Structure 1
């Protein structure tokens, strides 16, 4: 049996048992050309030289999953194939790797990578908005504390930024109440209005970022978007570090994305680990009784993983079918587990029952 092995300096066909090289195609001695071929390999492509080497051979083995279309991937130790044996020195390797780095960094950024950054930007905006909002309520509350009962979030910031003094705001809202707040100097009120104006613009920025994220996720992840909705699908991709990585994860990891801290805390303490991460935000999970949530989360994670794979490899839209399959599975879980599990009864006296040795019914005595 022969095996195809590709190193940075060439591709080789070897006898798998003896390790004897039967044929080879070396990289060009031009560093830029070699770098371009390596870049193609890193993007998952197949080299023309690799196809030439396996042409006419009946499904050889290959040493890299990237070459799966040419043969069956197998582990193979090719460390004995040295670059120096074929006229490639360290200086040339350095030039090739520098060229490869320049090529990869100048490639167009996939849209799902932009999605990861956009979600993190949105989180930063939300954190900043919360800080500014807390400061504005505390500061302006000294002048008009009752406003918090009539306006919230963006509306609160907008009213303070536009009108400032409480009498104008009361007139705008059409309310007639007596405030217990203190009067402020014009200079102090102006400083508060500047803060409110900044907060108001931050709310606008947040809306634009959310619309941008929704557009990306609908374009790049239509199947995930159909299953989870835009915001949750975007956060799943962000937590995984990109759509490609998400599509390569096992479903158990997809199920726990966002719950890493709780999982490691449970591992250290020996307690039971979490059953779901951010996927809990899906209505089928957070509306279900607690004893059904883990099973539903497992079913949803499996469907989400299928959707991610379809989106990553640009398959046909299957979101409706996956949603229907999930609906059937959720119905089965609800029918099969309608009642909460019974808690184990404690033995009389409150002491735990001996599970082994002489105290165990039918158990054998310890040997000394």
Structure 2
């Protein structure tokens, strides 16, 4: 038997992956968020302890080793809709989880750390709901996703619903569709999912605005050099502003590239040259042969900025940015062309 926990309940599965027993969580966003937070903190849920008393079990999470033998078995596919739970409820629970994490934080940089992780949670929820919306609405109007921008797709569905209404509203032009007709009840359900997706995306935007404002208060030098969101993500990856301020610049350069570094160590693959710093325009817009050098320079300036943010209250962001810009121009001047293939360094 295998013990498996999802966001909507705890399940005992037999060797064929069939549900042998289950304990569903309350259909309440706040209650689900409490359990998700406990899981994030490595706790064992009361529902897991209760259902695990039924015999020898296999578990796929380290935190559950007290309840059974740890074996990283393949994650089973359990659809929440089959058990009376909706994607809308998941969205509400993730928003509630983000709020709980922010309330529980005690220091300003921890607020930022939790907010960034909440943004990540919301991003996962948005991607999941978007995939579901595309698959569902494609039954009625499969051509729509190719006729409108991705950002406008859920907005059009939330406002108009089915294919005929969308075409009559003048949102797209199409003479014929291979989609099937759907009932008014189906249309309303799809519209509700699209509306929830739009609301979740708006919440994410508001969270990003919050992070940008908080970074100006807590780590204004880091925000100035790295950008507010990238700076916040570096704080999150480091485990806090104090930890970021103590890291060497070489480590800051590779924050977010842990998997690539592990692959380099294990399989002798090429070492990574940058982590989340690749998201910065200075790095990702640069030619590939300049990116590592620019990321190294940025990491050096961010290291200084973080130290000043942690131990002082001075603003030296303009000075650091000026030095960074000068160094980038120097790199562009010294390395205008890609290195010759097969040429060995001496």
Q: Please tell me whether residue 170 in structure 1 is matched to residue 164 in structure 2.
A: no
Alignment of 1:151-190 (within 5 A): 151-180=148-177, 181-190=179-188
SS at match of 2:143: helix
Output one character per residue of 1:106-138: Cα deviation in whole Å (capped at 9) or x when no partner: x98111101111111111111111111111111
Output one character per residue of 1:61-82: Cα deviation in whole Å (capped at 9) or x when no partner: xxxxxxxxxxxxxxxxxxxxxx
Matches of 1:154 and 1:213 in 2, distance apart? 22
Instruction: Name the counterpart of 1:118.
Output: 115
Q: How far apart are 1:145 and its partner, in Å?
A: 2.0
Instruction: Name the counterpart of 2:270.
Output: 272
Q: How far apart are 1:284 and its partner, in Å?
A: 1.7
1:154–1:200: 8 Å Cα contact kept in structure 2? no
Q: Which runs of 5+ in 2 are unaligned?
A: 1-103
CA distance 1:134–1:121, change in 2 (3 Å): same
Output one character per residue of 1:183-213: Cα deviation in whole Å (capped at 9) or x when no partner: 1122222222222122121112111111111
Matches of 2:232 and 2:186 in 1, distance apart? 42
Q: How far apart are 1:153 and its partner, in Å?
A: 4.1
SS at match of 2:231: helix
In structure 1, which of residues 286, 289, 295 is the aligned counterpart of residue 287 of structure 2?
289
Output one character per residue of 1:144-197: Cα deviation in whole Å (capped at 9) or x when no partner: 223223434453222222322222222333544224121112222222222212
Q: Please tell me whether residue 199 in structure 1 is matched to residue 221 in structure 2.
A: no
CA distance 1:338–1:160, change in 2 (3 Å): closer
Report how many residues are paired.
241
Instruction: Name the counterpart of 2:256.
Output: 258
Runs of 4+ in 1 over 6 A off after TM superposition: none
Instruction: Name the counterpart of 1:133.
Output: 130
SS at match of 2:196: helix
Matches of 1:239 and 1:342 in 2, distance apart? 35
Matches of 1:154 and 1:272 in 2, distance apart? 36
Q: What TM-score does the superposition give when structure 2 sets the normalisation length?
A: 0.65
Comparing 112-121 with 333-342, greater Cα deviation is found at 333-342
2:226–2:298: 8 Å Cα contact kept in structure 1? no
Comparing 113-122 with 167-176, greater Cα deviation is found at 167-176
SS at match of 2:266: helix
Matches of 2:327 and 2:294 in 1, distance apart? 8
1:146–1:179: 8 Å Cα contact kept in structure 2? no
Instruction: Name the counterpart of 1:142.
Output: 139
Instruction: Name the counterpart of 1:329.
Output: 327
Alignment of 1:303-342 (within 5 A): 303-342=301-340
Output one character per residue of 1:297-340: Cα deviation in whole Å (capped at 9) or x when no partner: 11110001111111112331111110110111112222222232
SS at match of 1:148: helix
1:125–1:202: 8 Å Cα contact kept in structure 2? yes
1:133–1:153: 8 Å Cα contact kept in structure 2? no
CA distance 1:272–1:146, change in 2 (3 Å): closer
Matches of 2:147 and 2:340 in 1, distance apart? 47
Q: How far apart are 1:345 and its partner, in Å?
A: 6.3
| CA radius of gyration, larger in | 1
Q: What TM-score does the superposition give when structure 1 sets the normalisation length?
A: 0.61
Matches of 2:269 and 2:172 in 1, distance apart? 54
Matches of 2:333 and 2:152 in 1, distance apart? 45
Q: Which runs of 5+ in 1 are unaligned?
A: 1-106, 347-368
In structure 1, which of residues 197, 213, 216 is the aligned counterpart of residue 214 of structure 2?
216
1:145–1:179: 8 Å Cα contact kept in structure 2? no
Alignment of 1:337-348 (within 5 A): 337-344=335-342
Matches of 1:336 and 1:345 in 2, distance apart? 18
In structure 1, which of residues 243, 246, 271 is the aligned counterpart of residue 244 of structure 2?
246
